[in-house]
Amino acid sequence: MSINSEYFDSIRIRSGKKNGHNTPQCQWDGCGKPGLHRAPSGSRRNRQEQYFHLCIDHVRTYNKNFNYFSSLSYSEDQRFQKDAATQCRLPWQKSLDATVMQASQHFSHLRSGTTASYRTRLRNPRNSKHTDDRSRQRKLKILEAKALATLSLKENASKSDIKAQYRALIKLHHPDSNGGDRSSENRFREILQAYNLLKKAGFC
């Protein structure tokens, strides 16, 4: 292909520089710099935001002093505060949450854990604040029950009971307290694992 081709003649190259005549002037009183930065004017006409064109110095000053609520009417201000208080949740979202809560109550007896029992207590109006602790305890999982059995404790053992029993068994089966005897090393490991499991589960 030669440089004198007919295709080269039809190609037009635009300069990378913007034309200076299209740049708006800063709208700050007494400023003649180009207004390259837009700042919201606060007035909304036909649901479109109006902007001021300002230079960098004046847009910084304007942004520091800008008050969003100054352009709102009293009713718009009250509506904004109400939406902020309800976290802008739409009515169908609230009804959806109620539907989910209603559906989840049918399965709450199948779940274990503190969250399920808490939700069940909230839904049942007959539950009072003065129920005994036994009804609040959840059913133990298999590993938790085995860990309590390893520490020779009952299922309703308190935190202080678990810690005291753990300390006593560690002192009894620790290799240093046995004079280096390795016969109780496996029992020592089981006690450590059981206590760590109970600790992660929140029992102590």
Per-residue pLDDT tens for 89-135? 665 555 555 555 555 555 555 555 555 565 666 666 555 454 444 44
pLDDT at 133: 47
**The pTM of the whole model exceeds 0.75:** no
Q: How far is CA 101 from CA 108, 112, 123, in A?
A: 10, 17, 9
Q: What is the pLDDT of residues 21-44, one digit of tens each?
A: 678 889 888 988 998 988 887 666
Q: Say yes or no to pLDDT of 176 above 90.
A: no
Find how far residue 153's CA is from the centre of its chain: 38
CATH topology of domain 142-201: Helix Hairpins (1.10.287)
Per-residue pLDDT, 162: 93
Nearest to 148 by CA among 102, 104, 195: 195
CA–CA separation, 127 and 121 (whole Å): 6
What pLDDT does residue 69 have? 75
Average pLDDT over residues 134-156: 82
Q: Name which residue leads in pLDDT, 139 or 89.
A: 139
Q: Taking a C-beta distance cutoff of 8 angstroms, is the pair 67, 77 a contact?
A: no
Kindly report the average pLDDT of the chain as a whole number: 75
Q: How far is CA 185 from the centre of its chain?
A: 44
Closest CA to 20 of 37, 34, 30, 32: 34
Contact status, residue 83 vs residue 63, Cβ threshold 8 Å: no
Inter-residue contact 55 to 33 (CB < 8 Å): yes
Please list, in sequence order, all residues whose beta carbon lies within 8 angstroms of the beta carbon of residue 41, skipping any fewer than 6 positions away.
49, 50, 51, 52
- How much is the pLDDT for 136? 47
Q: Give the confidence band of 179 by pLDDT, cuts at 50, 70, 90.
A: confident
In terms of phi and psi (left: phi > 0; alpha: psi -120 to 50; beta: otherwise), the region of 111 is: beta
Which residues 6+ apart lie within 8 Å of 75 measured at CB?
A: none
